[in-house]
Structure 1
Amino acid sequence: MTVKTRDVWLPFPAEEIEGLPDSFTYRHWDGEDAFPADPADCVFYVTPYMKSPEVTVRPLAAMPALRVVQTLTAGTDHILGGLADLRPGVRLCNAAGVHTASTAELALALTLASLRGIPGMVRGQDREEWRFGVYDALADKSVLIVGYGSIGSAVEDRLAPFECERVTRVARSARTAPRGPVHALADLPELLPGADVVILTTPLDDTTRGLAGAAFLGRMKDGALLVNVARGPVVDTKSLLAEVESGRLRAALDVTDPEPLPAGHPLWHAPNVLITPHVGGSSTAFAPRAKRMLARQLTRFAAGDPVEHTVLTTT
């Protein structure tokens, strides 16, 4: 690798990351107003985690030497708007695998909590009410996973001990996975009516924005549960509100549209809706995995080897 500048911008202090190559100058920047150095000297930019798109893209236009943009999220939709100013050949890499365990855990937690009525029990505890009843089990349920990448596969791994009647997999295109066939998105109209639980783990792009709209939700069976750990705009909020307010569907949402969900929004108090504040990847599992991934990526970059998890290359 022949470059005139050697700056790498990291959202973690470099001393916290084991295994970084010593051939770079590391600059710590996590979205603060002041830049840590001249952006023109940056060749590898690791974006701040869970900051706004405006903060994330702010230094890009001033980075003419940039070769790699590395996000710490599986999705990259928040940074795409800032790539137009970059020279050709800059690689955009996502954090594939970093959030897999944490997000899959939350998908399972949301599913179990919603089926077993945990939110209502917590409200009952606050009021000293003993809310005994018969609640849904995950056992014997049919689960449909929409977005069968690393996170979707990890969700199925965690479903395995729960004696589900069936797990059906859907991805952009049909293929065969180690656990069985993966259906194409085009098959959803036929698959949705048979699912008791639909778990969304798909990326957000032009093909998935509004995917769970009126037609999608209308084909879900009465009483089914929609779990979204993907991105908020994958679900059409107006259509979802109509279904949950009628009592026909239930929902467990780690992501919403809009996000953050503003005070007074009807989703907050819609019946049979459980909301968590986009914490699928925000767990103690994040930092160790993110730091190991960055050490691997920068070691490859220093050696002149192709970086991993490339989503696109600017043209």
Structure 2
Amino acid sequence: MITVSVPPAIDSIALEARIASRADVRLVPWALQGPPSVPARELDAVVLPFHTTSATPNPGYVGPTELAALATAESVRLVQLLSIGAEGVAAHLPPAAALCNAVGVMERQTAELAVTLVLASQRDLAGFVRRASTGTDRWDNRRTPGLAGARVLLVGHGGIGSLVERMLEPFGVAVTRVAGSERTLPDGRAVHGPDALPALAADADVVVVTLPLTTRTRGLIGAEVLAAMPDRALLVNVGRGPVVDTAALLVELRAGRLRAALDVTDPEPLPDDHELWALDDVIVTPHVGGNTELMPRLLLDLVADQLVRLDRGLPLENTVEEPR
């Protein structure tokens, strides 16, 4: 039998039902706030709550202080994330623990939100709703930039970025791709390296960021890239907030030169008095990219399969290779 801690975000009854006939697993609650409900040495696996690198995490999330509690569970062999991003966790892993993420759970929903933000911004839905609610210029049937035929730069071409590209195909957009390294896709499409970003941004109507946060991506979308973007171009970020330099972005937004649609921000959560909330050409959503009604079921399926693998001694899926 293996003993596994699960956070409140996971329905333990539903998880147990998925595992019951497949593995011998004992589930115990632990949200990393205080000691686990059993001695830490008895844990074989920890299903981590949603996590953040912020010292002031959102409700239901854990931050660096709580993550430090992982080190007390020295016998843990698996730390399972409920997200794709793994930033900030590796430093706290028990010595023998594998770190696995939730690849396959949130990519489609996050790509869906990215395209939603692009469409909403390119057709200025927020502006039309705002004028309708205030009663000012309600029938201002002016032209908007639109998406059809636009030049789109995808910054990140993993699971989310590649899905965004597929979802954009019907709009006849011209897509350029940037990822962590230069490569050619099997069908011959080019993926540029990050050094090409400023030059490519200069020719983009829309820039969509889907990158995870690493030491290499932090601040990647900074003053140089933002200044290179054409006037009134749109920046969309559904990756991680610190990939974009918020201070540099605010300079461009205050001047009215760029527009933005952000599902992730730096800082996060975004304070109520932050300037981003008040700017007309900015849409902010509260980090909800993967958060649809489909997500809990997909997470349960993933966690159940991983625990069965652990119990049977089979190779784990979605292992994250990060330095400790």
Same fold (TM over 0.5): yes
Residue in 2 aligned with 1:29? 30
d(CA) in 1 for partners of 2:147 and 2:295? 27
Q: CA deviation at 1:178?
A: 5.0
CA contact (8 A) 1:244 1:271 kept: no
Distance 1:44 1:222 in 2: 50
In the other structure, the counterpart of 1:65 is 75
Provide, for residues 81-109 of structure 1, a one-character-per-residue CA deviation record: whole Å limited to 9, x for no partner: 423xx22x321111112110110011001
Q: In 1, Cα distance between the equivalents of 2:83 and 2:186?
A: 25
User: In structure 2, what is the equivalent of residue 53 of structure 1?
Assistant: 63
Matched, 1:13 2:21: no
| In 1, Cα distance between equivalents of 2:279 and 2:124 | 15
Across the aligned residues of Structure 1 and Structure 2, the Cα RMSD in angstroms comes to 1.9
- Deviation of the 1:172 alpha carbon: 0.7
Among candidates 93, 110, 113, match of residue 106 of structure 1 = 113
Q: Which runs of 4+ in 1 moved over 6 A?
A: none
Name the aligned partner's letter for residue 177 of structure 2. Answer: R
The superposition leaves residues 87-144 of structure 1 with CA deviations (integer Å, 9 ceiling, x where unpaired) of 2x32111111211011001100111111111111111121134132111110010111
Distance in 1 (CA, whole Å) between partners of 2:286 and 2:76 is 33
Q: Find the aligned partners of 1:314 and 1:198 in 2 and give their Cα distance.
A: 30
> Is residue 144–residue 169 contact of structure 1 (8 Å, CA) maintained in 2?
yes
CA drift at 1:32: 5.4
Distance 1:216 1:313 in 2: 27
CA distance in 1, matches of 2:202, 2:253: 17
Find out whether 1:161 has 2:170 as its counterpart: yes
Are 2:127 and 1:120 aligned?
yes
Q: Are the equivalent residues in 1 in contact too, given 2:121–2:261 (CA < 8 A)? A: yes
Which aligned pairs between 1:1-315 and structure 2 lie closer than 5 A?
Answer: 6-11=2-7, 12-17=10-15, 18-20=17-19, 21-30=22-31, 33=34, 35-49=36-50, 51-54=61-64, 56-83=66-93, 86-87=94-95, 89-129=96-136, 130=138, 131-164=140-173, 166-177=174-185, 180-312=189-321
Q: Indicate the SS of the match to 1:153.
A: helix
The TM-score with structure 1 as length reference comes to 0.91
SS of the residue corresponding to residue 312 of structure 1 reads coil
State the TM-score, normalizing by the size of structure 2. Answer: 0.89
Contact 1:141–1:197 under 8 Å retained in 2: yes
Instruction: Indicate how the Cα distance of structure 1 residues 242 and 313 shifts in structure 2: closer, same or farther if over 3 A, else same.
Output: closer
Distance 2:157 2:311 in 1: 33
Check the 8 A contact 2:123/2:144 in 1, yes or no.
yes
The aligned length equals 307
Q: Which residue of 1 aligns with 2:58?
A: none
Q: In structure 2, how many angstroms separate the alpha carbons of the residues matched to 1:314 and 1:240? A: 31
Q: Distance in 2 between matches of 1:29 and 1:122?
A: 43
Give the direction of change, closer, same or farther, for the CA distance of 1:313–1:160 in structure 2 (3 Å limit). Answer: closer
Which secondary structure does the structure 1 equivalent of 2:192 belong to?
Answer: strand
Post-superposition offset of 1:177: 2.7
Q: State the distance in 1 between where 2:91 and 2:130 align.
A: 42
* 2-structure distance, mates of 1:194, 1:279: 29
Identity fraction in percent:
42
Task: Output the amino acid matched with 1:239.
Answer: A
